[in-house]
Amino acid sequence: MSAARYVAEAIGPRRVGGVYRCGYRGITYRVEEIHTGPGGPIPWSEWAIVETDLDGPTPGRTRTHCTAWDPGADTERPDPGQRRSPPNERQEGAGA
């Protein structure tokens, strides 16, 4: 596996500004930054994520880590204040 593919799989669907639920820790967090390549905040890692807890025991706490996305436990969440459309709801302009 190439280094680029390894990093992409480890980051998973996480994007800056996205909100996610950590299945292991049971908290919701927002991704603030994603670092890839040399010179990142974790010298021995090819990537790192900076996130802020939105709930749990320490809301507002920011941490930097390189824990890979776990598709069996971690989930994407709608952005605060936004509603995710149900799968059967038609998208505007989708046709008749």
pLDDT at 5: 94
- CA dist 54 and 7 (Å) reads 25
Q: pLDDT value at position 35?
A: 96
Q: How many domains does the chain have?
A: 1
- Please check whether residue 7 lies inside any domain of the structure: yes
Triad 33, 22, 54: Cα angle to 5°: 65
Domain with 37, as residue range(s), is 3-77
**Could you tell me if 28 and 63 are in contact, meaning their C-beta atoms sit under 8 angstroms apart?**
no
Specify if 63 maps to a domain: yes
Residue 31 lies in a domain: yes
- Asked if residue 85 is part of any domain, the answer here is no
96 in any annotated domain: no
Give the mean pLDDT per block of 10 residues along the chain (96 residues): 92 97 95 93 94 96 96 86 50 48
**Cα separation of 72 and 86, whole Å?**
22
In a domain, residue 87? The reply is no
Per-residue pLDDT, 96 = 45
Q: What is the pTM of this model?
A: 0.78
Residue 95's SS3 state is coil
pLDDT for position 3: 87
CATH number at residue 41: 2.30.30
Please tell me the distance from the alpha carbon of residue 46 to that of residue 85, in angstroms, as a whole number. 35
